[in-house]
């Protein structure tokens, strides 16, 4: 009897010790995970509200980011979300995919995902997408207030007099103007949030470039301007916006104005959508290097029956970037929600170029 009791007590003790070990191990993993999140947040967030169950954070103002943003030796890439509400949720994995693709292939560049707001800050909700992006050391989430950001520049008047706010297309126009203002102040590369990056900027070997959208238009969705050597273009573009801003034209302040700026320096420039065109130290890349899938075929990128043809077209173009025309294929357009099991051309590209964002998808991309 005593022996049985001792055996029972021994087994019970071993069982309890095993449970205690497993509990300690799980607790350690939980703490390490939370500490990892905190370390990620420290570099990009101003302060934390509540705990990680609430998951709300205040972004840092880009004007307070002196260490990197004002360092002329740091090469920069900018993405801009121009909807100006204060409370934010990053719910569009395609936007996150664009940011990851740029950071992943350009580890030597600082990638800024900037959220515009008319208030004094932004409350960002933590999510798997945010965590995926911040796992890259070179990705930084920031906010800016356009009125505050434009002070002391030639574009200040547009904001102080609320010309953009009262325009027919305030979100599109704010995006057009902020990209110019960022490159004018800091230099670097601007990319639309519906662009996947295929090639490192260093491989392109040009300090100042944009891409032909057609034989007549230079697009402003992919724009690279060095702070010094590209200043003539960025200043001229900003000056044209200040003097000729059109509040009723959807594209008049974007591609049309950039095209006019380039032609003002090179009146006889012959835009060619098949090969690069030089204008001084500025290069217009051919259409197939940035826009290999034109708007007439945009929907095929999301349809499985066209996957093979679209991927073949992409491969033959050997693009530096791909622009996806998300104004027409946006996540809100329910026809083009992509289940995570989709074998569409877009999903095949996302799987390779933004793997961390891709792995967060549980339902729709």
Pair 202, 342 in one domain: no
Same domain, 193 and 230: yes
Asked if the structure places residue 18 within a domain, the reply is no
Asked if pLDDT for residue 32 goes beyond 90, the answer is no
| More confident site: 92 or 306 | 306
Residue 29 included in any domain: no
Domain-embedded: residue 128: yes
Asked whether residue 26 is assigned to any structural domain, the reply reads no
**Residue 354 in tokens:** 């933004």
How many whole angstroms separate alpha carbon 365 and alpha carbon 354?
12
List the structure tokens of 119: 């208030």
CATH at 209: 3.90.550
Mean pLDDT of 138-147: 94
Q: Is residue 146 located within the same domain as residue 261?
A: yes
What is d(CA 241, CA 247) in angstroms, rounded to the nearest whole number?
11
Q: Are residues 94 and 119 in the same domain?
A: yes
Range of the domain at 58: 44-292
Q: How far apart are the first and last CA of the chain?
A: 64
User: What tens digit of pLDDT does each residue of 48-98 get?
Assistant: 444 444 577 788 888 887 677 888 889 999 999 998 776 667 778 999 999
Beta strand pairing call for 188-191 and 75-81: parallel
DSSP 76-111: EEEEEE----SEEE---HHHHHHHHHHHHH-TTEEE
Give domain status of residue 297, yes or no. yes
Residue 27 lies in a domain: no
346 and 249 within one domain: no
Dihedral pair phi/psi, residue 100, rounded to 5°: -60, -40
In a domain, 39, yes or no: no
> Domain check: are 114 and 202 in the same one?
yes
Residue at which a domain ends, from 244, 270, 292: 292
| Residues 306, 288 share a domain | no
Q: What total number of domains does the chain contain?
A: 2
Q: Which region among 125-129, 287-291, 333-337 has the lowest average model confidence (pLDDT)?
A: 333-337
């Amino acid at each position: 009897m005593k022996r049985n009791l001792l055996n029972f007590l021994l087994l019970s003790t071993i069982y309890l010790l095993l449970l205690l070990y497993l509990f300690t191990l799980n607790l350690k993993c939980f703490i390490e995970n939370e500490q990892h999140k905190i370390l990620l947040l420290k570099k990009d967030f101003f302060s934390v509200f509540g705990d990680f169950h609430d998951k709300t954070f205040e972004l840092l103002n880009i004007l307070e980011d002196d260490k990197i943003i004002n360092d002329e030796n740091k090469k920069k890439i900018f993405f801009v979300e121009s909807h100006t509400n204060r409370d934010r949720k990053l719910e569009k994995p395609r936007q996150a995919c664009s940011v990851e693709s740029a950071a992943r292939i350009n580890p030597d560049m600082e990638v800024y995902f900037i959220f515009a707001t008319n208030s004094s800050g932004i409350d960002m909700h933590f999510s798997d997408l945010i965590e995926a992006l911040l796992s890259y050391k070179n990705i930084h989430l920031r906010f800016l207030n356009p009125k505050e950001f434009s002070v002391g520049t030639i574009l200040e008047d547009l904001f102080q007099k609320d010309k953009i706010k009262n325009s027919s297309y305030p979100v599109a126009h704010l995006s057009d103007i902020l990209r110019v203002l960022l490159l004018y102040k800091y230099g670097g590369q601007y990319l639309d949030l519906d662009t996947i990056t295929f090639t490192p900027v260093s491989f392109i070997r040009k300090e100042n470039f944009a891409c032909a959208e057609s034989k007549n238009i230079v697009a402003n969705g992919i724009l690279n301007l060095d702070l010094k050597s590209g200043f003539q273009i960025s200043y001229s573009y900003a000056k044209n916006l200040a003097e000729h801003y059109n509040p009723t034209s959807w594209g008049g302040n974007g591609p049309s104005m950039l095209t006019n700026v380039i032609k003002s320096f090179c009146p006889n420039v012959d835009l060619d959508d098949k090969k690069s065109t030089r204008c001084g130290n500025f290069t217009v890349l051919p259409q197939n290097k940035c826009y290999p899938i034109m708007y007439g075929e945009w929907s095929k990128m999301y349809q499985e029956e066209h996957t093979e043809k679209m991927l073949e077209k992409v491969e033959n173009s050997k693009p530096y970037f791909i622009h996806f025309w998300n104004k027409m294929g946006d996540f809100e357009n329910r026809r083009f929600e992509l289940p995570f099991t989709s074998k569409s051309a877009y999903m095949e590209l996302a799987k390779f170029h933004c793997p961390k964002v891709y792995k967060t998808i549980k339902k729709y991309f």
